[in-house]
Amino acid sequence: MTNALLHPFAPPNKPESDYLNIVRGEGSLVFDSSGKSYIDGIANLWLCQVGHGRTEIIDAVATQMRQIEAYHTFAPFSNGPAAQVAEMIVERSPLVDGRVFLGCSGSDAVDTALKIARLFQQRRGHDGRQIIVKRTNGYHGTNFGGTSAQGITLNREGWGDLIPHFIEVPHDDLEVAATIFAEHGERIAAVLTEPIQGGGGVHPPVDGYLEGLHRLCEDNGALLIFDEVICGFGRTGNWFGAQTFGVTPDLIIFAKGVTSGYQPLSGVIVSRDVCNELEEPDFLLRTGYTYSGHHASCAAGIANIELMETEGLVDRVDNIGSQLRSGLAALKGDGLIESWRGLGAIYAAELGNDAVSARDKMLSAGVILRPIGTCLAICPPLVITDDEISRLIDTMADALR
């Protein structure tokens, strides 16, 4: 094998031969090229809700592709799967009378949401509202919009000038956000936040934080954008984190879990108020992607949502969560981890020291978790069995011992 492949979030001098080659998946398990199996404790990369190898989705995509693989949805074209998946998504969201703009990746959906927020303000006559307030630890993908919105400093560095008018606030301090609004309220277009910060280390919001942001936005004419690329599609125990935390934003960014990764699909759910601004006669929305509304991706989304519903996977989160929490509490009780945080089916075990070697030991023992600084992130498929969760926790205990 040559080194032709340049990997994302990886040291480019690492040779291809050093990588683990994943060739197959089934349920919560994946298999490498030597046939060794792993419990996929991070659901691919925070996304494979229905587990691997689900023929229901594979068949739906193949059937769609035999009809037509893709055709764009720029005016005057549309297609059934795109319209249907949009309807299924809004119906399950807190923005039931909103509409869905489709894309392919979380990063492009973040850019779309940022553009729509500024567009909305301009169309309301607030040309000066350009500031986006974002939080430390926030991860919003790696396009220029999301890179500018990163609350993980290292991810922002080395790319030259980023997009202006982003202001970062500490992720857990509402007072600072209030001060920023007091200073710049007239110029703030939107606040961008994940309900639970995922890639930055699994940080649930402190009590009252999301409600507080919502209030600040409402009082100051700014939009609230939830980046639910990880939280969406069941991860927190409801279809969306917005429902778990009881806070309704103006825009919801989704990706990942919408198809469980069987095809790339993302999007932005746009509230009715924001839609009203865009639906004025003679206005043309000049943004979008060749693959916005891609037939096969949308077919995967429909089949995935149907499967999640049939198998009651959103409701399974309670059980997964309580088993993981008691496992993590036992590890803490035994002094093997410093602490844990998280809710629903997303957690971080805080080790107090670099987590890469613990990850590597667990990998050897057949469990995949994701190291983030000093913690190990856990975010399993929503089909994970009780036995697999026990094995995951036991393997963690062995690795940490």
Tell me which residues touch ligand PLP (CB under 6 A): 105-107, 110, 139-141, 194, 198-199, 227, 229-230, 255
Q: Select 114 or 178, whichever has its Cβ closest to ligand PLP.
A: 114
Residue 346 CB, nearest approach to ligand PLP (Å): 11
Residue whose CB is nearest to ligand PLP in the complex, by number? 106
Residue 129 CB, nearest approach to ligand PLP (Å): 23
Q: Select 194 or 388, whichever has its Cβ closest to ligand PLP.
A: 194
Residue 9 CB, nearest approach to ligand PLP (Å): 10
Residue 127 CB, nearest approach to ligand PLP (Å): 28
Residue 266 CB, nearest approach to ligand PLP (Å): 6
Q: Select 290 or 353, whichever has its Cβ closest to ligand PLP.
A: 290
Q: Select 57 or 230, whichever has its Cβ closest to ligand PLP.
A: 230
Given a contact cutoff of 8 angstroms between Cβ atoms, the answer to whether 196 and 232 are in contact is: no
Q: Select 139 or 262, whichever has its Cβ closest to ligand PLP.
A: 139
Q: Select 113 or 393, whichever has its Cβ closest to ligand PLP.
A: 113
Residue 134 CB, nearest approach to ligand PLP (Å): 11
